[in-house]
Structure 1
Amino acid sequence: MPFAVYLLGAAIFAQGTSELMLAGLLPEISTDLGVSIPAAGLLISAFAVGMLVGAPVLAVVTLRWSRRAAMLAFLVVFALTHVAGALTSDYGFLLATRVVGAFVYAGFWAVASVTAIQLAGPESRARAMSVLAGGLTVASIVGLPAGTALGQHLGWQSAFWAVAAMSALAMVGVIFTIPGGRSKTTPELRSELRTIRNPGLWLAYGTTALSTAAILAIFSYLAPLLTDSTGLSAAWVPAVLAVYGVGALIGITTAGRTADRRPFTTLTVALTGLIAAAVALALGAGTPWLAVPAIVLVGVFGFANNPAVNGRVFTLAGSAPTLAAAFNVSAFNVGITIGPWLAGLTLNAGAGYPSVAWIGALFAILALGTVLLATRLPAPLHHSAPATCATTT
């Protein structure tokens, strides 16, 4: 795997820390800004909305840009939104910075994923995406608990400053590892639009959205679940989030080595395991020795979906993957939006924090249904590497 792919994974780590860290900071943000826990949780959904819109829009706007120039522009704006967020005490303004930051983060994901796929070659699509998404997994292991600890001891704003600094370091990495200049062959919007009409792609997007909703319905409220239902002190939350991240890294690494050869088997095993883990968490939320292992298994099986579903999207997209990848980022963020939103509705209705695990199990069952439907579709006709738009220049 080329070093530049790992660099892109590191850049995703920097930005992904911001995406994830609010799950551990909801109590602090809620208290500091004077809003409820579900309202603070909307900051997670707002980030998802920004990514939902940003991926396809920026994929089209930057279609003929230098890949390096596009990624650098996205990182600059992302860093500035976190500086602004750290300086505000207004909930509405913070919400707006989350949307804008997510908008450009989505653009980075879309450009970086196509670049990584091209660098890795057609036989290693899923593995390249596991490296890229592995940055997000490492963010859950290191960035999330570190951000939670910073927020608990130095104020939640300190976590935003840390993300801005890491984004600046990511810019340096992009400058030195991604070549500048435009490619000799550039993407064609007409070809990109023709590709996304493939019904199999939209079924894959459904799997992405539903499996992500399953994870985020649970993950978004892990901190209050652990303190209110499981009975752990707030000091234990970063540690539990860290072992959740270790489970996620195990899942995505293992699946990255099987998904290129057996995508449907990988998805079926991962989603079945996620359903079982979510049910175990719902039933054992009040007992630490049951709840914590279940949370780890949610990480293992939840992240094991990622390489297989991403690899399938690029296989179906063939030689026009830019817009297809962008819509997959949007699908990912549909899940991030609806998962916490529906879980928040159950909490507002007085169902209690274990209910979020039942919501997660329901989404995972629906995701498994999309996989079973996809197995009945004809095999994709495209197997060649992206040639016209997946460039590093």
Structure 2
Amino acid sequence: MPAALLALAIGAFGIGTTEFVIMGLLPDVAATFTVSIPTAGLLISGYALGVTVGAPILTGLGSRWSRKKLLLGLMTLFIAGNVLSAVAPTYGLMMAGRLVASLNHGAFFGVGAVVAASLVTEARKASAIALMFTGLTVANVLGVPLGTALGHAFGWRSTFWAVAGLGVIGFAGILALVPDLKADENPHVRKELAVFRRPQVWLALLTTSLGWAGIFASFTYIAPMMTGVAGFSEGMVTWLLVIFGLGLVAGNLLGGKLADRSLMPAMYGSLGALAIVLLLFTFTAHGQVTAAITLVLFGVAGFATVAPLQTRVLSKAEGAPAMASAANIGAFNLGNAAGAWLGGLAIDGGLGYTAPNWIGALLALAGLGVALCSGALDRRPQLVHA
């Protein structure tokens, strides 16, 4: 595989780390700014909303740039946002840093996938794209736990300095290794936007948002749940995130294989499994062994949804894959924001740190319901095109 893919994977690793590492540092950040944990959780919602807004806008605005220039600009935003987070003296500036860092997320993965595919032969395009996205998966196995451990040892600000450093390495790698691929000579933004007239595209995006709202309702508050309910020490959070990350890797691979075999059953099964696991987590979180086992299953079920959800929206967006792909990344993150907010409301309402689990289960079930409706429309094509 071309060395340029390594540069893209490093960028993906940094982006994945900065997105998720805040979960393990939430109590520390809350203490620094003297805010409640649910208020600190809004830093996750803010990032997710930034991805939702930034993905389609930057994809459209950058359509006339060379792809290398656009990737370099996106990594510059990433570095600047993480530096601002690292030095932020107030909660408001911390939120601003998260927002700046988030703007690059959706466009980077959308453009990066196009670049990765262009670097290899037709027969290896999927493998090249998968290799770039491996950076995001590995971030959950290594980047998040290591970033959490670094933050606990040297303060949470050190984590954001380290992530900014990853951005610098990714920038240098893209500058040195990625060829200067030109943008499309005649980008058709209107054609890309026209895909949003299709009801099935909106149903696919809604399914993505609801499913991932279920995941983040729980995952956002995983650190206080594991320490305050299951009784783990703060130092164990790092290792719990490691086993969760292993579950993510397994779930990602499983979801891809199942989606290749039969897309809609894979979507129904993964969303249903997610709802069941989250409901069980409400009860199993009270014991250390059961909490750890359920956390792994949560990772498997959560990331088993990714391939079916992404494939579904692309299958309904024929002719406009770039904008639809960016929009679905935005939908993932809109779900992240909504889930974190709803979980925080439950905690603020005095329902306890396990309440986000059953709220997440209900959201996953809602996503399953939308997916079932969308599948029913597939069997009645005359309604789809009406």
Say yes or no: TM over 0.5.
Answer: yes
The Cα shift of 1:348 comes to 0.3
The answer as to 2:74 corresponding to 1:65 is no
Q: 1:128 to 1:229 in 2, by over 3 A?
A: farther
1:125–1:311 CA contact under 8 A, matched in 2: no
CA distance in 1, matches of 2:334, 2:37: 21
Residue number in structure 2 paired with 1:221: 221
Q: Which amino acid aligns with 2:318?
A: G
Q: Which runs of 5+ in 1 are unaligned?
A: 382-393
The Cα shift of 1:8 comes to 2.9
Q: Which amino acid aligns with 2:204?
A: A
The Cα shift of 1:225 comes to 0.1
The Cα shift of 1:256 comes to 2.0
Residue number in structure 2 paired with 1:367: 367
The Cα shift of 1:127 comes to 6.9
Residue number in structure 2 paired with 1:81: 81
Deviates more, 1:236-245 or 1:171-180: 171-180
SS, match of residue 319 in structure 2:
coil
The Cα shift of 1:184 comes to 5.4
CA distance in 1, matches of 2:224, 2:129: 31
The Cα shift of 1:186 comes to 3.9
Q: 1:199 to 1:114 in 2, by over 3 A?
A: farther
Q: Which amino acid aligns with 1:208?
A: T
Residue number in structure 2 paired with 1:238: 238
2:77–2:103 CA contact under 8 A, matched in 1: no
Q: 1:132 to 1:366 in 2, by over 3 A?
A: farther
The Cα shift of 1:315 comes to 2.4
CA distance in 1, matches of 2:305, 2:130: 10
The Cα shift of 1:7 comes to 4.6
Q: Which amino acid aligns with 1:29?
A: V
Deviates more, 1:24-33 or 1:106-115: 106-115
Residue number in structure 2 paired with 1:251: 251
Could you tell me the TM-score, scaled by structure 1's length?
0.90
CA distance in 2, matches of 1:35, 1:114: 41
SS, match of residue 318 in structure 1:
coil
Residue number in structure 1 paired with 2:139: 139
CA distance in 2, matches of 1:111, 1:205: 19
Q: 1:298 to 1:3 in 2, by over 3 A?
A: farther
Q: 1:310 to 1:225 in 2, by over 3 A?
A: same
Question: Residue by residue, what CA displacement relative to the aligned partner does 1:239-269 show, whole Å, maximum 9, x if unpaired?
Answer: 0011000000001022223323421122122
Q: 1:374 to 1:85 in 2, by over 3 A?
A: same
Q: 1:376 to 1:121 in 2, by over 3 A?
A: farther
Equivalence map 1:110-149=2 (5 Å): 110-116=110-116, 131-149=131-149
Q: 1:6 to 1:367 in 2, by over 3 A?
A: farther
CA distance in 2, matches of 1:122, 1:296: 36
2:106–2:329 CA contact under 8 A, matched in 1: yes
Q: Which amino acid aligns with 2:284?
A: G
Residue number in structure 1 paired with 2:39: 39
Q: Which amino acid aligns with 2:334?
A: V
Residue number in structure 1 paired with 2:155: 155
The Cα shift of 1:328 comes to 0.9
Equivalence map 1:311-350=2 (5 Å): 311-350=311-350
2:150–2:159 CA contact under 8 A, matched in 1: yes
Q: Which amino acid aligns with 1:58?
A: L
The Cα shift of 1:377 comes to 2.9
Equivalence map 1:41-56=2 (5 Å): 41-56=41-56
SS, match of residue 258 in structure 1:
helix
Question: Residue by residue, what CA displacement relative to the aligned partner does 1:187-246 show, whole Å, maximum 9, x if unpaired?
Answer: 201211122222111111011111111111111100000010101111111100110000
Q: Which runs of 5+ in 2 are unaligned?
A: 382-386
Q: 1:337 to 1:352 in 2, by over 3 A?
A: same
Deviates more, 1:128-137 or 1:153-162: 128-137
2:64–2:184 CA contact under 8 A, matched in 1: no
Q: Which amino acid aligns with 2:302?
A: G
Deviates more, 1:237-246 or 1:324-333: 324-333
Q: Which amino acid aligns with 2:58?
A: L
SS, match of residue 300 in structure 1:
helix
SS, match of residue 350 in structure 2:
coil
Equivalence map 1:201-212=2 (5 Å): 201-212=201-212
CA distance in 2, matches of 1:371, 1:125: 28
Residue number in structure 1 paired with 2:19: 19
Residue number in structure 2 paired with 1:291: 291
The Cα shift of 1:77 comes to 1.7
1:134–1:249 CA contact under 8 A, matched in 2: no
Q: 1:21 to 1:76 in 2, by over 3 A?
A: same
Residue number in structure 2 paired with 1:310: 310
Q: Which amino acid aligns with 1:146?
A: L
1:18–1:160 CA contact under 8 A, matched in 2: yes
Q: 1:203 to 1:253 in 2, by over 3 A?
A: same
